A and B are shown apart, each in its own frame.
Chain A
Amino acid sequence: MSMNAPSPIIEVRNLVAKYGDTTVLSDVSVDIYPQEVTIILGGSGCGKTTFLKNILRLHEPDSGSIKYWGKEITSMEEDEFNTFVLEHIGMLFQGGALLNSIPINENVAIPLEQHTKLPKVIIDRIIKTKLHLVNLDNAFHLLPSELSGGMRKRAALARALALDPEILFCDEPSAGLDPLTSANLDELLLNLKRQMNMTIVVVTHELASIHRIADKIIFLDKGKMLFNGTLKEAQNTDIPEIRQFFTVGRF
């Protein structure tokens, strides 16, 4: 692979997703490139989250093809796909999705304890570094209910990073956070991209956040992909929906 034109890490072709009779995504084709932050953008109800769920097979697509590193995942067996997810993918859920009954360190330890045979000393060290990475050094023994919203998100991020994923998916990471906390989280994502060469896919509609972190933008509207390109191109495009999105959000 040459440096100038890296091949896409995820290739989505003609993806169609339906809930019952309603078509949520029709014929979406997208390429996601390595070591970039790709933002999936669009108004509420445009199918952003559905798109994310489909490429992670949390919702089975109706038709279409989804390839990671050239490997088709829609036809994979459950087991095979699970191993694949474990090795390559981390996901930060919208509300954090931490288990509420156990402390933060054990939450982060879950994937390590369940899927590796690492000794306890090493797991403890990994948890410590991962929590340090998200600036939660002091929250080691706290329960999720004892953390603020931003801290909970960061703890969830630490859990998503536990197995060193190559691709990190984030579903509205800055939803419900104040501008400062949200900026910190963005900074954190950029650091991850730089330090760990991570590919990051973010679903969001926070303009401030988009300006800070986006390399590429995928704009969805009413289940169709309207735009796929860099942030600069998105700002200068003359597609009315996108222009409107960027102008209304400006202050």
Chain B
Amino acid sequence: MVRLINGILYFSEGIDKTTIPALTEQLALIFKANKPLTLDISGLTELDSAGVAFLETVQDQVKTYSKVVFLQGTPEHLKPILKTFSSALLPKEEQLYKPRYFEKVGDSICLAGQSFYAALVLTADILYWSLIGLFSSKNIRKGSFVQQGLLLGLQALPVVGLLSLIIGFILSLQSAAQLRNFGANVFIADLLAISLVREMGPMMTAIIVAGRSGSAIASEIASMQVSEEIDALRMMAINPIRYVVVPKFHAITVVMPILVSCAILIGELGGLLIAVGYLDLSLQTFVQRSIDILSLKDIIISLTKSTFFAWVIVIIGSHYGFSVKGGAEGVGKATTDSVVASIFAVIFFDAMFSLLYL
């Protein structure tokens, strides 16, 4: 409780974390009309660390209009508490330096540059050790290639297949409606074959793999980094890139073209349903035209592209994994960042390929 008598603030009963909110309100009313200089706490029975902090803020408030403030009547049993929890004599905390807008922009550009450089170094490392890894199995755990192949490839097949079927289906359904207007039904096969082989097959598969396997790679490496497993590998004279990344790199290099081929075939199947069911094409025409329109170059570009995307996904995943900072939260952030970055990179490089090899 607090009362104002003859210009003196009398505090009584207890000041602790439960009573402070009410006291703050009472005081606000008192300070509106009065300017007391003296605080009397002789009636106090209880005081905790919050109470001490509260008394000090009240004194600070008095100091806004007066040079002096008096605290009187401290009961003997409360003196040690007042002394222990007083923050009056503590050094002022240093203000954190807050960078301005342009400084932040510049900073993030520098950081992006450094991160990009680190990613390039990592890329070189991964490519080098993958090449070496072809000829020497040193530092590579036995069976990890097959294990990773199953993980990155076979387990991704159902979702890749399902999505490809739906994409082939939609793609042909939408174009069928238009082609029908011009009586160009038969071209559905050309359209579907080119778009699936050149673009949709590699790109959609890469996006799914980036979301599924890229995130898995990033989070695995990030949590290994956070729990010092990577350091432990180094101390056993095992190159973490060779031990952790190279098997994934090899596996995905083999598995990705197979995944993309499956995606293209299943996508064609989806298109076939529309072509035969809705546009009244014969099965034979559809297959024949699809094969005729595709050149060897198209298929080579498609598979090269998909391998390249696979590499990009592994490299970006490992980059974010290795550069993780902080604990559990850092792992989550690294994973998210790696998925965003690898999807962006896949689409960007896809555009590059399209421009280069039209």
| Interface pick from A39-47, A69-77, A121-129 | A121-129
Q: Is A145 an interface residue (CB 8 A)?
A: yes
Residue total for B at the interface (Cβ-Cβ under 8 A): 28
Looking at the complex, which one of A125, A132, A195 makes contact with B80 (CB distance below 8 Å)?
A: A195
- Which residues on the B side are within 8 Å of A119 (C-beta)? 20-21, 24
The answer to whether B87 and A128 have CB atoms under 8 Å apart is yes
Q: Is B93 an interface residue (CB 8 A)?
A: yes
Q: Is B329 an interface residue (CB 8 A)?
A: yes
The answer to whether A121 and B57 have CB atoms under 8 Å apart is yes
The answer to whether B84 and A137 have CB atoms under 8 Å apart is no
Beyond A100-B329, A122-B53, whether A116 also contacts B17 by CB under 8 A is yes
- Which residues on the A side are within 8 Å of B5 (C-beta)? none
The answer to whether A126 and B90 have CB atoms under 8 Å apart is no
Q: Is B56 an interface residue (CB 8 A)?
A: yes
The answer to whether A125 and B57 have CB atoms under 8 Å apart is yes
For residue A119, give the distance in angstroms from its CB to the closest CB of chain B.
6
- Which residues on the B side are within 8 Å of A133 (C-beta)? 84-85
Q: Is B326 an interface residue (CB 8 A)?
A: yes
Beyond A118-B20, A137-B90, A196-B84, whether A126 also contacts B326 by CB under 8 A is no
The answer to whether B326 and A122 have CB atoms under 8 Å apart is no
Q: Could you give, for residues 151-175 of chain A, a 1 whenever the CB lies within 8 Å of some chain B CB and a 0 otherwise?
A: 0000000000001100000000000
Q: Which of B16, B17, B96 has the most CB of A within 10 A?
A: B17
Beyond A141-B96, A163-B17, whether A129 also contacts B327 by CB under 8 A is no
Beyond A100-B326, A128-B93, whether A118 also contacts B17 by CB under 8 A is yes
Looking at the complex, which one of A126, A140, A195 makes contact with B50 (CB distance below 8 Å)?
A: A126
For residue B91, give the distance in angstroms from its CB to the closest CB of chain A.
6
Q: Whole-angstrom distance between the alpha carbons of A22 and B80 in the complex?
A: 48
A interface secondary structure, majority: helix
Q: Is B175 an interface residue (CB 8 A)?
A: no
Q: Could you give, for residues 31-63 of chain B, a 1 whenever the CB lies within 8 Å of some chain A CB and a 0 otherwise?
A: 000000000000000001110111011000000
Q: Which positions 97-126 of chain A face chain B at CB distance < 8 Å?
A: 100-101, 112, 116-119, 121-123, 125-126
Q: Which residue of A lies closest to B328 (CB)?
A: A100
- Which residues on the A side are within 8 Å of B52 (C-beta)? 129
B interface secondary structure, majority: helix
- Which residues on the A side are within 8 Å of B21 (C-beta)? 117-119
The answer to whether B50 and A118 have CB atoms under 8 Å apart is yes
Q: Whole-angstrom distance between the alpha carbons of A20 and B96 in the complex?
A: 51
The answer to whether A164 and B87 have CB atoms under 8 Å apart is no
For residue B45, give the distance in angstroms from its CB to the closest CB of chain A.
15
Q: Could you give, for residues 318-354 of chain B, a 1 whenever the CB lies within 8 Å of some chain A CB and a 0 otherwise?
A: 0000000011110000000000000000000000000
Q: Whole-angstrom distance between the alpha carbons of A126 and B48 in the complex?
A: 10
Q: Whole-angstrom distance between the alpha carbons of A123 and B17 in the complex?
A: 10
Q: Whole-angstrom distance between the alpha carbons of A163 and B16 in the complex?
A: 10
For residue A140, give the distance in angstroms from its CB to the closest CB of chain B.
5
Q: Is A188 an interface residue (CB 8 A)?
A: no
B interface with A by C-beta (< 8 Å): 16-18, 20-21, 24, 48-50, 52-54, 56-57, 80-81, 84-87, 90-91, 93, 96, 326-329
A-B contact pairs, 15 of them (CB 8 A): A116-B18, A116-B20, A122-B20, A122-B57, A125-B53, A125-B57, A125-B87, A126-B53, A128-B87, A128-B90, A129-B49, A129-B84, A129-B90, A137-B90, A163-B17
For the A-B complex with A100-B328, A119-B21, A137-B90 known, give 15 more contacts whose Cβ atoms are closer than 8 Å. A100-B326, A100-B329, A101-B326, A116-B18, A117-B21, A118-B21, A119-B24, A122-B50, A122-B54, A122-B57, A125-B53, A125-B56, A129-B49, A164-B17, A164-B49
List the 7 shortest-distance A-B pairs measured between CB atoms, nearest first: A125-B53, A100-B327, A101-B329, A116-B17, A117-B21, A164-B48, A122-B53
